[in-house]
Structure 1
Amino acid sequence: MDIRELQQHAVEFVEEKGFERVSFEQRIMYLMSELGELTDDCLKFQFEQDVHKKQEIKENIGLEMFDVVWNIAELANRLEIDLTEAFEKKIMINQTRTW
């Protein structure tokens, strides 16, 4: 799935689940909540010693990353931002930046 497909998925999922009633501010709070869950799992991963538990946490990190990216896609849709175009523009900007 590429970025445009993810944004289209977000459009369809919002319609299917009735999420259009969620305000912009609520969506931002959901994003922050998902970022917190991702952070928690990353901390668990860092300190886990058991290889099998570490793999389970890693898989969950991927799922939490999806939740974060999905919320960003949904916010972009509400603002009519094409993330593919925004990413391409930012990549070009970063090529000439001094770090």
Structure 2
Amino acid sequence: MDISSMQKYAKKFSEEKGFDVNTIQTRTLYLMTEVGELAKEILSISFYPTEEKVRLAKENIGLEMYDIFYNILDLANQLDIELEEACHKKMEINKNRIWCER
């Protein structure tokens, strides 16, 4: 599924679940909450990781990444931003950008 399709899915899902009443500020706070949950999962395997802990955490990390992505999609919809177009523009900008000398 491409980004535009995901954005359409997020819009429909938000409308169906009643999430479309959230303000931009509220959605941004939900996004920050999900970033915190991702950080917590990563921390859970940062010290004394076992094979089982890493396996479980990786699954949860993927789910938290989706939650972050969903919140970004919903924000883009609220702000009338075509996220796929924005991604392509930023990729072009980054192509010639220099962050450090190699």
TM-score band by shorter chain is: over 0.9
2:2 corresponds to? 2
Matched, 1:65 2:65: yes
Gaps of 5+ in 1: none
Superposition deviation, residue 48 in structure 1: 4.3
Letter of the structure 1 residue corresponding to residue 4 of structure 2: R
Matched, 1:12 2:41: no
2:36 corresponds to? 36
RMSD value, Cα: 1.0
Asked whether the equivalents of residues 3 and 83 of structure 1 are also in contact (C-alpha less than 8 Å), the reply is yes
Letter of the structure 1 residue corresponding to residue 12 of structure 2: E
CA distance in 2, matches of 1:23, 1:49: 39
What whole-Å deviation, never above 9, does each CA across 1:44-75 have from its counterpart, x for those lacking one? Answer: 12224220121011100000000001100000
Gaps of 5+ in 2: none
Paired residues, number = 99
1:93 corresponds to? 93
- TM-score (normalised: structure 2): 0.91
- TM-score (normalised: structure 1): 0.94
CA distance in 2, matches of 1:84, 1:21: 24
2:84 corresponds to? 84
Letter of the structure 2 residue corresponding to residue 92 of structure 1: E
Letter of the structure 2 residue corresponding to residue 32 of structure 1: M
CA distance in 2, matches of 1:48, 1:61: 17
Letter of the structure 2 residue corresponding to residue 52 of structure 1: E
Letter of the structure 2 residue corresponding to residue 3 of structure 1: I
Identity %: 47
